[in-house]
Amino acid sequence: MSGPVDVSVIMPVCAWPTPADVSGAPHPQLLRALNSVVAATEPYHSLRGVSCELLVGVDGHVPRVVEAVSAWAAAHPQVRTRVECFERSATVTFGNRQRNRFLDQGPAGRLIVWQDQDDQFYPYALTRAVARAEASPGHPLIFKMRLYHNPRAPTVLWQTKGRVECGHIGGHMLVAPNEPGLLGRWELETLYEADFAYISQTLERFRAAGREAVWCDEFISMLRPAASGL
């Protein structure tokens, strides 16, 4: 793949179950998460498909996880995939260390997007996100996200537009222009609070630059979709 990249998807992964040693296996939903990146970037109606850089940050040197991602990448050359093993932390950082490390390295995409190893993008989600970004250049975008922790009653985040608080927004929802000085940081040892910290910091920095967030009604991501049988 040559030329500029539309989106950089950053995905932290680890062996499963955690904590695991070097013999640890990939998460059982990892391949579904990876496949969803392809489905999310395909053409949709009159919209062109988008180019994607997938940055996979591995928690420690776990050969079976790296082999699984590398085999997937070889079978999907349309996605520019890079796998990097970062040092394993002595404490649980929920993938936040990998997220920050990739931000420090400078992703290539015009937009920054996030995904986790046990969640999935909706089909065509990134294609539509790029179209939205082109309609509102320079503005961060916030999309809807559905949680399947309870398959009988899936939860939709941000039932109220514009409300930025912990538990109401999640990291996958934010699609931000790749402007390092305006992107927040992920708090290392917090879980959902880290999503809130990154999003709130990023939105505040863009707001200070005169660029308010655009709230979009489309769904971008499904959390724990395996619970629903999808």
What torsion do the CA atoms of 99, 105, 106, 108 make, to the nearest 10 degrees?
Answer: -90
* Cα–Cα distance for residue pair 195/101, rounded to 1 Å: 16
Note the pLDDT of residue 146. 87
153 DSSP 8-state letter: S
Q: Which residues contact 22 (CB under 8 A, 6 or more apart)?
A: 60, 61, 62, 63
Give the number of other Cβ atoms within 10 Å of residue 87's Cβ. Answer: 10
Dist. CA 191–CA 214, nearest whole Å: 25
Please list the rounded mean pLDDT of every run of 10 residues in the chain (230 residues): 83 82 86 98 96 95 94 97 89 87 95 95 98 98 84 68 82 95 90 88 97 95 76
- Any idea which residue has 């997007």 for tokens? 113
Locate the domains of the chain by residue range. 7-228
Strand, helix or coil for residue 139: coil
- What pLDDT does residue 1 have? 44
Cα distance between residue 156 and residue 173, in whole Å = 11
- The amino acid present at 150, given as its one-letter code, is N
C-alpha–C-alpha distance, residues 67 and 204, integer Å: 39
Q: How many angstroms separate the CA atoms of 168 and 159, rounded? A: 8
Short-list 61, 67, 73, 52, CA closest to 10? 52
The pLDDT score that the predictor gives to residue 137 is 98
CA 39 – CA 211 distance, rounded (Å): 30
Q: Is the peptide bond before 17 cis (omega within 30 degrees of 0)?
A: yes
Q: Structurally, what CATH architecture does the domain formed by 7-228 represent? A: Alpha-Beta Complex (3.90)
Residue with tokens 């660029």: 211
Q: What local confidence, expressed as pLDDT, does residue 227 receive?
A: 62
What tokens appear for 127 in the block? 């294609």
- Predicted local distance difference test score (pLDDT) of residue 20: 65
Q: At what angle do helices 30-40 and 63-75 cross, to 10 degrees?
A: 30
**What is the sign of the dihedral through the CA atoms of 216, 217, 222 and 223?**
positive
Sequence-distant (6+) residues with CB within 8 A of 112 are: 7, 8, 10, 103, 175, 176, 177, 178, 183
Cβ atoms of residues 170 and 157 within 8 Å = yes
